[in-house]
């Protein structure tokens, strides 16, 4: 099988980091193409004409969009090493449910948190912390969301670790105090080279967000 693999991504994207971790776990070689989301390339618009966003995986000339779908595609194509998706149907369904929960909840909440003030800001902060605590609850006493094994839900959540510092600063709370088990889980994940080498520095992400909001809204 030919394997021309290209990843269109932008460095601070927690969604793009999912694809980077999955490819690293599989030991897959690929070409990384950084995208400027303020001035989208013709290639990005061509391969993702519906949503016009990253990440996009291009495999042998065919594009796959949406990060959770990309991770599942990677697992199915490079199926000879490190299974990512649970083999048990129930566990697989549960993992997909919680990945969808993450994508549905956080997309709206973090933007509101950064841009809101006063009572609305406090409401958004409480909602974000509540969502994080729900994810902490389902982790329970397990080492990883996959039990003893780092897997699909772990990959799709750990990329937010690079953004926790930003959440803390804009929300005026501390992750260690609010979600200690979640932070302990994150540190276990970071012991994996595939994770630590795929995630980006949390301070750089914070600086990026501050500048992006200033550019977009003058705040």
Domains in the chain (CATH in brackets) are 5-77 (3.40.30.10), 89-217 (1.20.1050.10)
* Rounded average pLDDT over 95-111: 89
3-state secondary structure of 69: helix
Helix axis angle, 202-217 relative to 164-171, nearest 10°?
A: 50
Is residue 110's pLDDT more than 90?
no
Is residue 81's pLDDT more than 80?
yes
Residue 219, pLDDT score: 59
The overall average pLDDT reported for the chain is 94
pLDDT digits (tens, 9 = 90+) for 126-161: 999 999 999 999 999 999 999 999 999 999 999 999
Q: Which of 5, 72, 71 is CA-nearest to residue 33? A: 5
pLDDT band at residue 1 under the 50/70/90 scheme? very low
Q: How far apart are CA 72 and CA 84, in angstroms?
A: 8
* Rounded average pLDDT over 27-49: 96
Residue 44, pLDDT score: 98
Residue 117, pLDDT score: 87
More confident residue, 219 or 112: 112
């Amino acid at each position: 099988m030919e394997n021309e693999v290209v990843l269109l991504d932008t460095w601070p994207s927690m969604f793009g980091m999912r694809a980077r971790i999955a490819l690293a776990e599989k030991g897959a070689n690929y070409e990384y193409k950084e995208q400027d989301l303020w001035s989208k390339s013709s290639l990005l618009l061509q391969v993702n004409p519906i949503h016009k966003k990253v990440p996009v995986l291009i495999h042998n000339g065919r594009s796959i969009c949406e990060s959770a779908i990309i991770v599942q595609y990677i697992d199915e194509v490079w199926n000879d090493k490190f299974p990512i998706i649970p083999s048990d149907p129930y566990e697989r369904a549960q993992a997909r449910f919680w990945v969808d929960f993450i994508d549905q909840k956080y997309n709206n909440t973090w933007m509101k948190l950064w841009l809101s003030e006063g009572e609305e800001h406090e409401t958004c902060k409480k909602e974000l912390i509540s969502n994080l605590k729900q994810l902490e609850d389902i982790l329970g006493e397990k080492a990883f969301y996959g039990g003893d094994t780092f897997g699909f839900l772990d990959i799709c959540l750990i990329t937010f670790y690079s953004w926790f510092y930003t959440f803390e600063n804009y929300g005026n709370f501390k992750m260690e105090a609010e979600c200690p088990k979640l932070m302990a889980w994150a540190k276990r994940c970071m012991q994996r080279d595939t994770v630590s080498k795929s995630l980006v520095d949390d301070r750089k992400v914070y600086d990026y967000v501050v500048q992006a909001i200033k550019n977009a809204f003058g705040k």
